[in-house]
Amino acid sequence: MRAFTTHTGTAVPLRRSNVDTDQIIPAVYLKRVTRTGFEDALFAAWRQDPGFVLNQPERAGATILVAGPDFGTGSSREHAVWALNDYGFRVVISSRFADIFRGNSLKAGLLTAQVDQDVVERLWEIVEADPATPVTVDLVERTVSAGDLVAPFDVDDYGRWRLLEGLDDIDLTLRQADAIDSFESTRPSWKPRTLPVLS
């Protein structure tokens, strides 16, 4: 996983709440068996509307998405995170994220910065007034800044540490192999198995 410390880029104001993962990436795009190449799928239905914010020329190259509350609800599809990554986003800012989406983002190096809704509103105003305004998201300091706005954002300590270090979760867990072995040795024998086990 790529590490994340601080990032500066331009932002897209997405004035919608309850952006579910079916909107972020419709199900037809989930048939692919690869982990990359989903940039065309991001917000595919909404992008058909020429007026949609991502289609505005001044939003080209933006790397930060600022959305309304309850972003990433619905399906567990990690493809939603991959599509945001592939399109070029490094950060999503919202006042509330769905749990599974937030977990998935962390695994794929996409920062979900949770701020108060009034910070979202101010960011929308700032980047709508001037789309070229640079927005900085600093994971070390846990702040987001744009123009004269500086606001703290929420991210849990452990997740922050993993993002800063770019650490692979599976490697970390495999260091605990002894603990897993010993837990397994105490599991009740009546717990179900899906296969006959030869032993």
Partner 1 sequence: MGTTLAEKVWESHVVRRAEGEPDLLYIDLHLVHEVTSPQAFDGLRLAGRPVRRPDLTIATEDHNVPTTGLGQPIADPVSRTQVETLRRNCEEFGVRLHPMGDASQGIVHVIGPQLGLTQPGMTVVCGDSHTSTHGAFGALAFGIGTSEVEHVLATQTLPLKPFKTMAITVKGQLAPGVTAKDIILAVIAKIGTGGGQGHVLEYRGEAIRALSMEGRMTICNMSIEAGARAGMIAPDETTFAYLKGRPHAPQGADWDAAVENWKSLVTDEDAVFDREVVIDASELSPFVTWGTNPGQGLPLSANVPDPKDFENEQDRVAAERALEYMGLTAGTPLRDIRVDTVFLGSCTNGRIEDLRAAADVLKGRRVADSVRMLVVPGSVQVRLQAEAEGLNEVFTAAGAEWRGAGCSMCLAMNPDKLAPGERSASTSNRNFEGRQGAGGRTHLVSPQVAAATAVTGHLAAPTDLAGEPALVNA
Q: Which residues bind partner 1 (CB under 8 A)?
A: 15-18, 20, 22-23, 26-28, 30-35, 45, 68-70, 73-79, 81, 96, 98-100, 103-104, 107-108, 117, 156-158, 169-170, 172-174, 176, 179-180, 183-184, 187-195, 197
Q: In the complex, what is the shortest distance from the CB of residue 134 to partner 1, in angstroms, rounded to a whole number?
A: 27
Nearer to partner 1, 103 or 134 (CB): 103
Nearer to partner 1, 49 or 58 (CB): 49
Q: In the complex, what is the shortest distance from the CB of residue 149 to partner 1, in angstroms, rounded to a whole number?
A: 20
Quickly count: other Cβ atoms within 10 Å of residue 33's Cβ: 5
Q: In the complex, what is the shortest distance from the CB of residue 94 to partner 1, in angstroms, rounded to a whole number?
A: 11
Provide the b/e sequence for 172-196 (b: ≥16 CB within 10 Å). Answer: eeeeeeeeeeeeeeeeeeeeeeeee
Quickly count: other Cβ atoms within 10 Å of residue 88's Cβ: 14
Nearer to partner 1, 141 or 156 (CB): 156
Q: In the complex, what is the shortest distance from the CB of residue 198 to partner 1, in angstroms, rounded to a whole number?
A: 10
The CA distance from 68 to 115, in Å, is: 11
Residue 132, both tokens:
């070229």
Q: What are the DSSP calls for 41-103, one per residue?
A: GTTHHHHTSTTSGGGSGGGTT--EEEE-SSBTBS---THHHHHHHHHT--EEEES-B-HHHHH
Q: In the complex, what is the shortest distance from the CB of residue 101 to partner 1, in angstroms, rounded to a whole number?
A: 8
Nearer to partner 1, 10 or 114 (CB): 114
Q: Determine contact, residues 109/166, Cβ cutoff 8 Å.
A: yes
Positive or negative: CA dihedral 92, 49, 16, 136? positive
Nearer to partner 1, 27 or 60 (CB): 27
Q: In the complex, what is the shortest distance from the CB of residue 105 to partner 1, in angstroms, rounded to a whole number?
A: 9
Nearer to partner 1, 148 or 184 (CB): 184
